Each structure stands twice: as structure tokens, then as C-alpha cells.
Amino acid sequence: MANPPPQARPRGTKSTRANGDQTRDKILNAAERLFGEHGFANVSLRDITRAAEVTLALASYHFRTKENLFEAVVARRAARLGDERLRRLEALQDPDTRAILDAFMAPLFEMAALDDPGMSAYLRLLARLGEGDDWLPLLERYYDGVGQIFLARLLEKSAGALPDAVARGFAMALQAMLATVSQNGRVTTLTGGKVTAKDLQSAYPALLDFCTAGISALMAQH
């Protein structure tokens, strides 16, 4: 008896999957831009689908809710950023405070320098996340694991220091980092335009000096 012919692979499987991925990316890109510009509360799922040029049904299929979509936007770039931070930290041999902070902060500024409008929106979104407690669970889920590793390394360098003070200092450094990388225009208005918030190349060394000095001073407290 002859063996039955192998079942044919359903046509269009790869194409359907590719189309689905493209649609998902379009929705994520539009959501990233709108959330970064206007915040979570001021953007509707319909606003996002209109910008992405897809139907509301497709957005609901891929993400179900606006909250799920927002989380997907946050998560999309978090893993790559965290991996690069850890790679740099692991490459350091007996690092000082400045080197530890540089390994943490520099990857974010390098990503900000890329010719990627979506990244600019994402940075503004991250800054918004740090403004209140509403989104702390998201930051905890996608960013605190790596942050805690860096805090532990700082504490290793500060034997005898008050751990709470060092932790507060690191948290303050994170807030300063987000305000700077999101190109908050306060420095521009304070200086009458003589210093521009968009000049991240000049801003980063100043930020690193500022955070290093502050945390080092806290480490010296016993």
C-alpha cells in the first residue's frame, strides 16, 4: 500500500506571519510617538490606529488594551538597553564610581544620538514614566533588575557608607539622566538660549561629573 502523500504546508503562512509582524510594528511605532508626545492619558487607542493606518480591530487583536500596548512600547527597547549596560559593566575591571555610572548612562545617550525619531519619542516617554508613581510597576519590571545590579556595585565601592544615602543618590542620578536625555528645555530657558537642551554631546560629560560628585559625597558619609 502506498504511503499517503505528505500534507501540504498551508499556503500563506509565512506571508501572514510577516504581515502580522509588520502591522504590530506599525502600531508600536505610532504608539511610541504619540505616548512620547502626549503621555498615556491623552492618547486613545483610536488615535494610535489612525496614526498607524490600521483598524481598531487589528490593534485589539495584537494588544487587546491600551495598557498592554503601552507596556509593549516600554518593553521593546528596554531589553537591548539593559543588555548593553550589563555588557559594559562586566567589561570593567575594578571600576570606580564614575566608570560604573558611565556604563549605566552612556548607552542611553548613544541610543539618543541615533537618527531614529522613535528613539526620541521613547526617551520622552521614559522621562514621563519617572514623573510619578503610576507606572512604577513597569519601571520595576523592565528596568529595576539592571538598576539593582549597578546599585549593588556602587555599594561595593562604598564600604562603611550609609546604604540608604547611596541608594537615594543613585535614584536622583537616574532622574537627572532622564531629564537630560529627554532634552528637557529648562536649561535653554534659564540661559536665554545660550545653552541648548538638544546638545547632548556637551550635556553628557556635565551630567556624569554631577552624578559622580554627588554619589561620591554620599559615599563619604559614615
205 vs 21, more confident: 205
Contact 59, 27 (CB under 8 A): yes
pLDDT in tens, 128-154: 887 778 888 999 999 999 999 999 999
Q: Do domains 11-64 and 75-219 have the same CATH topology?
A: no
Q: Write down the pLDDT at residue 17.
A: 60
Residue 87: all three cell numbers together:
555588557
pLDDT at 167 over 80: yes
Q: For the chain, what are the domain ranges?
A: 11-64, 75-219
**Fold of domain 75-219:** Tetracycline Repressor; domain 2 (1.10.357)
Report which DSSP code applies to 18: H
Report which DSSP code applies to 41: T
Q: Write down the pLDDT at residue 3.
A: 45
Contact 215, 173 (CB under 8 A): yes
Q: Write down the pLDDT at residue 58.
A: 96
pLDDT at 198 over 60: yes
pLDDT in tens, 14-70: 555 656 789 999 999 999 999 999 999 999 999 999 999 999 999 999 999 999 999
Residue with cell 518593553: 75
Contact 166, 155 (CB under 8 A): yes
The model carries a pTM of 0.84
Read off the amino acid at residue 155: L
Q: Alpha helix (H) ranges present in the chain?
A: 13-38, 45-52, 56-63, 66-91, 97-112, 117-129, 136-142, 144-156, 163-181, 186-190, 200-219
Cβ neighbours of residue 215 under 8 Å, at least 6 residues apart?
A: 97, 101, 154, 166, 169, 170, 173
pLDDT at 188 over 50: yes
Taking domain 11-64, whether its CATH number is 1.10.150.120 is answered by no
Residue 35: all three cell numbers together:
505616548
pLDDT at 5 over 60: no
Contact 75, 132 (CB under 8 A): no
Q: What is the mean pLDDT of the chain?
A: 90
pLDDT at 220 over 60: yes
Q: Write down the pLDDT at residue 60.
A: 95
Instruction: Determine what percent of the chain is predicted with pLDDT higher than 70.
Output: 91
